[in-house]
Structure 1
């Protein structure tokens, strides 16, 4: 099979891995309340804490795993990562108590953190001529995973009467998918390009020295500013999941199944918007990214004011715009730096942004807990959703930082 066919097959396999990675990120969203009852937890804060712990570990390890992605086979790292991620979910489904559940999500996060640094760098390497489009196609997997995760978890938990059932099933399927990826994927971008990412850095004696991520303090400052800016976007996005789950169930009387179905449409729309906006952004990255993020912010601000019957539709519109920004930002970041450092750069980027952004899960649970009886009133959520809209708008300067990095790197 020739190289073009190899890279197309690998691109779609990466989409499958992307789907599982994000299934695991959102499968617990509609399960907070049944988990609280089953594990006999005293507060919603404890029920949402496993999600926060999982995501903090996931993003906290992204930079070390980004270093690995620049030094070892990205294909092997991705395959083993999904296997460990899935194994953690099997452990969570079998966890006899709360400490065991926390330990299981830590294991899952260790495996999950392998995906984005290695996959994003690999896609940019395979498709240097159309990075936005390729990342958008891989993003179909993210949209599918985000969609299937909460809707299946909510439906299966309701059907079986046990939140553990969908968690176990997702874990077993992930182990199968990891084996399929290891067998079928190919990380070479051409017939003669069979080296690991670090092989091009080998000196005359075979030693391998990693280049500096950025050659100047100014570029470092621009990069960190972009990472912090997009952390605001991520905080808003994750809040729309965890806060949305609690808002729908407490303020509008949604069942676990209904809440899972409503939240899933956010991510279903990403199946359409990821490839669409990824392709369009190859002809105007900053303009298209800013446009979709502003549109998403408008929907977020309006969301808690809408009647019950409009909420699922509003989440679909929000998801269409918000999910579409991810492949565009990732493409802008990958185009700003050379392949030899892309794993580390992306790993550090999502470490900074992810740790800050994923405090949203814990914060949402704590904030709703403190509302007390007022948690049943939609008006109590107006200020929080307005804050989330403002955070989306405040993340826009990050686009200018990435554009400036790209200009200076090419000087």
Structure 2
């Protein structure tokens, strides 16, 4: 019986890391669903509430983004110090409940506030997930695990336009729906309630796997851990200060790519309705398939980057991304000028594959570059800057150009071209410059790790040789 239990435990030890990755992927998908559901409901919300494009852009952009960015660093700190499972459980449950509250909102401030809570709570996901993957998945499988988790935004987009689109279409066909306590709700309100409520229970899945042991902290006493963490907190400022130019370039470059990605992601549903005259029920299946296919390319990208890395390109993640960004420019031009919906879908699919998920490239680079005890905070710093700057600027900027430069809602496509193309060009330039500083930094980290490995092997050999002499 004991041998059987040990065998089962051994099997679970091999399966558990990948089960954890799949659960985290599901959380990522649900976060994108809760984030994008409102984007598909802009038109019915405007009809009922009378909001302008600028007001809606503030709700789908800054309301979420500023809170997401401001809470990223403190939640990254929490993930470096506390149980990451508990941090993530609280975040998932809260952002799901806030999505339900968005459906109950009666005024602009209340809808804005619900999006603030969604943004703040979702800031728990990235630091917790990447930290747990880095500590639990074997090193030689790291890129594969990161690629699987990195499929989250694309699968989330597919899920949002597939399942989310179906829920929105269903509630629209039914009209008003009655719910316990709150009573009858209009279609868009019902959709948000139905999409947000399951997350409160799904959050419990985080307890189906163990809290990963932090690499580098095994065997330390509680006092030693406390000292190590305190030193890590002090060194964080010095670490960033010594590499301020490199991190500054990476932050600026990925802010630009995120501006371009969010410009299209935030306004494409509205653009399709205005330009092609299609409803969510009509265009959602096409976008769902588009995003699902895009998700599969994450694994292909991971294979290509691994191939480059094995051939000596330690900066493979950023180098590869900077290269494919060039291809985004013609895709932007075609997608937002064509009058053929099929051509739009093909061009937008190419744009989606290129721009999303940019966080995969920078997070993988952070795992290679940042010290173990600082990863949560470094990731939090990126979310704070990129996650605040890009979403705060992107949707309102597109709306402002549409209303005040072109002065025509039908010219939303030209606004999307202006914002996306300019951002991509800046990103190509900035990320290209960052490679000059990234390569020597990664080489330095690699040399340090190799020196530590040799030192550890020498210490083990010395200890082994000393034992016979002692005996």
Instruction: Normalising by structure 1, report the TM-score.
Output: 0.88
Q: CA deviation at 1:190?
A: 9.2
Distance 1:380 1:114 in 2: 32
| Correspondence for 1:47 | 56
- 1:192-231 CA-to-partner distances (Å, cap 9, x unmatched) read 98899x9874339x97763522537341221122111110
CA contact (8 A) 1:150 1:264 kept: yes
Relative distance call for 1:95 and 1:224 in structure 2 (3 A) is same
* Residue number in structure 1 paired with 2:88: 78
Moved more, 63-72 or 30-39: 30-39
Q: CA deviation at 1:244?
A: 2.3
Q: Which sits farther off after the overlay, 183-192 or 125-134? A: 183-192
Distance in 2 (alpha carbons) for counterparts of 1:270 and 1:104 = 30
User: Match of 1:169?
Assistant: 194
Which digits, 9 at most, give the CA deviation of each residue in 1:300-357, with x for residues without a partner? 2332233323111222222223225442332112211121100000000121112111
Deviation at 1:274, TM superposition (A): 1.6
Secondary structure of the residue that 1:306 maps to in structure 2?
coil
The answer on 1:272 being equivalent to 2:296 is yes
Return the match for 1:212 from 228, 235, 238: 235
Gaps (5+ residues) in structure 1? none
Q: 1:17 aligns with which of 13, 17, 27?
A: 27
Q: Which runs of 5+ in 2 are unaligned?
A: 1-8, 173-186, 309-315, 449-471
Residue 428 of structure 2 corresponds to: 393
Per-residue deviation at 1:15? Answer: 0.8
Deviation at 1:57, TM superposition (A): 0.9
In structure 2, C-alpha distance between the alignment counterparts of 1:83 and 1:354, rounded to whole Å: 21
Q: Is the 8 A contact 1:62 1:348 kept in 2?
A: yes
Q: Pick one of 144, 149, 155 that aligns with 2:160.
A: 149
RMSD, aligned α-carbons: 2.9
**Within-5 A mapping of 1:317-356:** 317-323=350-356, 325-356=358-389
Instruction: Please list the CA deviations of residues 36-56 of structure 1 after superposition, one character each: whole Å capped at 9, or x if unmatched.
Output: 112222x11112221111122
CA contact (8 A) 2:397 2:419 kept: no
Equivalent residues of 1:62, 1:347 under 8 A apart: yes
Q: Distance in 1 between matches of 2:223 and 2:17?
A: 20
Q: CA deviation at 1:66?
A: 0.8
Q: Does the CA contact (< 8 Å) of 1:86 and 1:175 recur in 2?
A: yes
Q: Residues 226, 404 of structure 1: CA spacing in aligned structure 2 closer, same or farther, 3 A cutoff? A: farther
| Alignment partner of 1:225 out of 225, 228, 249 | 249
| Alignment partners' CA distance in 2, 1:288 and 1:393 | 11
Pair 1:240 & 2:283 matched: no
Q: For 1:391 and 1:159, locate their aligned partners in 2 and report how far apart those are by CA, in whole Å.
A: 42
Paired position in structure 2 for 1:138? 149
Paired with 1:386 and 1:122, the residues of 2 have a C-alpha distance of: 36
**Residue 304 (structure 1) aligned to one of 323, 336, 342:** 336
Report how far residue 87 of structure 1 moved. 0.9
* Secondary structure of the corresponding residue to residue 50 of structure 2: coil
> Deviation digits for residues 368-408 of structure 1, max 9, x if unmatched?
23333362585676544532442442453375254444234
**Structure 1 residue 76 displacement after superposition:** 1.3
Distance between the aligned counterparts of 1:11 and 1:296, measured in 2?
Answer: 30
Question: Would the aligned equivalents of 1:89 and 1:105 in 2 still touch at CA under 8 Å?
Answer: yes
Q: 1:362-381 residue pairs with structure 2 within 5 A?
A: 362-370=396-404, 371-373=406-408, 375-376=410-411
Tell whether 2:430 aligns with 1:407.
no
Tell me which stretches of 4 or more aligned residues in structure 1 moved more than 6 Å: 190-196
CA contact (8 A) 1:29 1:242 kept: yes
Kindly indicate whether the alpha-carbon contact (under 8 Å) linking 2:276 and 2:339 is maintained by their aligned counterparts in 1.
Answer: no
Aligned to 2:275: 251
TM (normalized to structure 2)?
A: 0.78
C-alpha contact (below 8 Å) 1:272/1:320 kept by paired residues: no
1:360 offset after TM fit, Å? Answer: 0.7
Aligned length, in residue pairs? 407
Between 370-379 and 319-328, report the one with greater CA deviation: 370-379
Distance 1:376 1:208 in 2: 54
Deviations 1:54-80, CA, capped at 9 Å, x for gaps: 122112211111111111111111111
